[in-house]
């Protein structure tokens, strides 16, 4: 048995409409496929999928963290603040570049990083040490 790569990150969500609006409209992720029980974002590589949770309890900081790389963290953070997105960790200068963590409607943490050097292996997307 050989695992080659992650094909999807699946988040169980309590309110599909609210979560779709967050990922599509607030984070502006491109939708690949949609149905009442399943939504996929990104058309190539690893997809981010949303699926309704049978348990409607909010999963505040559930231990799942999705990490995104951006080219201009300051600009992204400003746009997210304008959209009233909750920050778990405010944008901060780190040894690898700039980093922030936001929270989605179900409490899933989302890491956003702007890498300033050619660091590609061993990069800690979580960066929770030093989270404020």
Fold observed for domain 8-115: 2,3-Dihydroxybiphenyl 1,2-Dioxygenase; domain 1 (3.10.180)
pTM metric for this prediction: 0.71
What pLDDT does 94 receive? 87
DSSP letters of the chain? -------EEEEEES-HHHHHIIIIIIS-PPEEEEETTEEEE-SSSSEEEEEE-SS-S--TT-S-EEEEE-S-HHHHHHHHHHTTPEEEEEEEEETTEEEEEEE-TT--EEEEEEE-SS--SS--S---TT--
Reported as a single tens digit per residue, the pLDDT across 92-118 is 998 888 999 899 998 888 889 888 765
Reported as a single tens digit per residue, the pLDDT across 24-67 is 999 999 999 998 888 999 988 889 999 888 765 455 656 567 88
Residue boundaries of the structural domains of the chain: 8-115
**pLDDT for residue 6 is more than 80:** no
**pLDDT for residue 2 is more than 80:** no
């Amino acid at each position: 048995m050989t695992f080659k790569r992650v094909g999807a990150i699946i988040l169980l969500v309590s309110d599909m409409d609210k979560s779709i609006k967050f990922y599509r409209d607030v984070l502006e992720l491109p939708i690949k496929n949609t149905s009442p029980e399943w939504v996929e974002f990104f058309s190539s590589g690893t997809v981010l999928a949303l699926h309704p949770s049978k348990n409607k309890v909010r999963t505040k900081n559930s231990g799942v963290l999705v990490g995104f790389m951006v080219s201009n963290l300051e600009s992204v953070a400003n746009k997210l603040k304008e959209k009233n997105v909750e920050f778990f960790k405010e944008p901060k200068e780190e040894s690898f570049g700039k980093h922030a963590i936001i929270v989605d409607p179900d409490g899933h943490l989302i890491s956003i990083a702007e890498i300033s050097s050619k660091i590609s292996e061993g990069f800690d997307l979580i960066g929770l040490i030093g989270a404020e």
